Structure 1
Amino acid sequence: MAPTNVFRFRPATIAAGDDRWFVEAWDSTLPYLASIGSTSQWQYVPSNLPGAVSKVKKMVTESDISAQKYPTSSPEVLEDGAVPPLDWSKAYVAEIDVKKENLPAALADKYSNIQGDVVAIPVGAMVLQGKSPEYVRAVIPEQDEKDPFIFLAFLMTDHRAGGLAKGSGSALLNIAKEEVKKLGLKRLCGDCWRGNGRRLVGYYDGQGLKAIGDFDVPKNEQDSWEGAVTEWRA
């Protein structure tokens, strides 16, 4: 049996350059998606699209600001009625220690100049927010006063890391579920692409996030991005 990867988790920050790494990791998913027939999930290279780069930087920046405004994850940060603040946000990085001699070829140059025989490399990323994005609101509102939630806005694995990243997505989702509990809530929501036979929907289902509704985001006059909203309950 292959050994289980052991990850550390830390806040993603602008100071650490995590916004740039988020985009690199996003780029790394494209060859993998092509290999499983999911090319339509992302039809562009994120690093080549200013809007995608700005979106990622904004998420990490908002997490930095939220960490100052809400330094603890506890019911005390909630607004009246136990509704999360709409500007609450937490961005995470999952890291793993690896000997330089075992670095994947795709990352060897990036970390070869770091001192020491062992380096910590980021392999997974996640962003949690206190509100849903506009494109899912045909299924869930911005926030729900009767049934409040935390929204999983971003979850990514760096495919350049190969087997070193295995399990990081599941580990990050466990952190998300713990955040929900720390805030005194019962609900984690998110969204994902539902194309290619709902393969990604099935992954989230296996992680406990069940599909609760579908939506479509128009890309042009002929085509749309097919999504599903998912939900986990404590």
Structure 2
Amino acid sequence: MAPTNFKFRPATLAEGDDRWFVEAWDSTLPYLASIGSTSQWRYIPSSQPGAVDRVQTMVAKSDASAGKHPTVSPEVLENGRLPLDWCKAYVASIDIKREDIPAALKEKYLSVQGDIVTIPVGAMVLDSKSPEYVRSVIPEQDDKEPFVFLAFLMTDHRAGAFAKGSGSALLTVAKEEVKRLGLERLCGDCWRGNDRRLVGYYEGQGLRAIGDFNVPKNGEDAWEGAVTEWRA
């Protein structure tokens, strides 16, 4: 049975969450290979300085946003839309018995004291604007129908069954955040290869596909993406 008692906290540089994000990102590759989705990432993130920098930048932006915009309410909005420096990164974690720590994580928690250990199992980043590569489908921000953008969602496959359901739980947090802000849209993007398997996952979570896009790659096939949207 999938865990239902996830805990959520802001991701921060002080907790080393940027390093954990990359470790967890790396952990997805064997799983993606097993389902025929190797091209979703194409590389091991920890081997790519650009990927490591991207994660660190997202967590740092969330840290700065927490200091400048500590509340989640319509008062944060500027002319009905989020400030462009707004960003919220989250970690989903779960408390488990020490003897139940999955083998892939046991060494990581050898020095942690206590019979109950809190392990992170999922990560999410919400942003105030869309990335440039999706703007053939949606603008950076929509003045008429402003949105929160789901910039990053991932589970740590080293955690095995303890991570199951964390993505759905984080998406529920995202939807609640949208409503607390007084907005009505959550948008995001994902890979649409492998017969749109990942698109189907998001559709199962209530985000419908609203448009496709391609990101050119030098000397390679384009990265195929889709933009998804949930409305409150």
TM > 0.5 fold call: yes
Contact 2:2 2:162 in 1 (8 A): no
Could you tell me which residue of structure 2 aligns to residue 167 of structure 1? Answer: 165
Could you tell me which residue of structure 2 aligns to residue 142 of structure 1? Answer: 140
Q: The residue matched to 1:94 in structure 2 has which SS?
A: strand
Could you tell me which residue of structure 1 aligns to residue 55 of structure 2? Answer: 56
Q: Does 1:77 align with 2:108?
A: no
Please point out which of 207, 223, 226 is paired with 1:225.
Answer: 223
Could you tell me which residue of structure 1 aligns to residue 35 of structure 2? Answer: 36
Please point out which of 144, 148, 151 is paired with 2:149.
Answer: 151
Query: Counterpart of 2:26 in structure 1: which amino acid?
Result: D
Equivalent residues, number: 232
1:143 and 1:16 map into 2 onto residues whose CA distance is: 31
Q: What displacement does 1:220 show?
A: 1.6
The superposition leaves residues 178-197 of structure 1 with CA deviations (integer Å, 9 ceiling, x where unpaired) of 01001100000000000000
1:161 and 1:110 map into 2 onto residues whose CA distance is: 12
Could you tell me which residue of structure 2 aligns to residue 188 of structure 1? Answer: 186
Alignment of 1:188-207 (within 5 A): 188-207=186-205
1:183 and 1:222 map into 2 onto residues whose CA distance is: 41
Query: Counterpart of 1:13 in structure 2: which amino acid?
Result: T
Q: Does 1:126 align with 2:142?
A: no
1:182 and 1:86 map into 2 onto residues whose CA distance is: 18
1:108 and 1:180 map into 2 onto residues whose CA distance is: 36
Q: The residue matched to 1:223 in structure 2 has which SS?
A: strand
Q: Does 1:109 align with 2:111?
A: no
Query: Counterpart of 1:5 in structure 2: which amino acid?
Result: T
Contact 1:95 1:121 in 2 (8 A): yes
Q: The residue matched to 1:175 in structure 2 has which SS?
A: helix
The superposition leaves residues 39-71 of structure 1 with CA deviations (integer Å, 9 ceiling, x where unpaired) of 011110000000000000000000000000000
Could you tell me which residue of structure 2 aligns to residue 26 of structure 1? Answer: 25
1:127 and 1:68 map into 2 onto residues whose CA distance is: 16
Does the C-alpha gap of structure 1 residues 161 and 134 become closer, same or farther in structure 2, counting only changes over 3 Å? same
The superposition leaves residues 174-223 of structure 1 with CA deviations (integer Å, 9 ceiling, x where unpaired) of 00000100110000000000000000000000000100000000112441
Query: Counterpart of 1:150 in structure 2: which amino acid?
Result: V
Does the C-alpha gap of structure 1 residues 213 and 97 become closer, same or farther in structure 2, counting only changes over 3 Å? same
Query: Counterpart of 2:42 in structure 1: which amino acid?
Result: Q
Contact 2:2 2:161 in 1 (8 A): no
Give ranges in structure 1 of 5+ residues lacking alignment. none
Question: Which moves more between the two structures, 52-61 or 4-13?
Answer: 4-13
The superposition leaves residues 146-184 of structure 1 with CA deviations (integer Å, 9 ceiling, x where unpaired) of 010000000000000000001000000000000100110
1:216 and 1:123 map into 2 onto residues whose CA distance is: 30
Q: The residue matched to 2:14 in structure 1 has which SS?
A: coil
1:184 and 1:225 map into 2 onto residues whose CA distance is: 34
Contact 2:214 2:225 in 1 (8 A): yes
| Structure 1 consecutive aligned stretches of length 4 or more whose deviation exceeds 6 Å | none
Contact 1:190 1:231 in 2 (8 A): yes
Q: What TM-score does the superposition give when structure 2 sets the normalisation length?
A: 0.99
Contact 2:3 2:162 in 1 (8 A): no
1:59 and 1:97 map into 2 onto residues whose CA distance is: 26
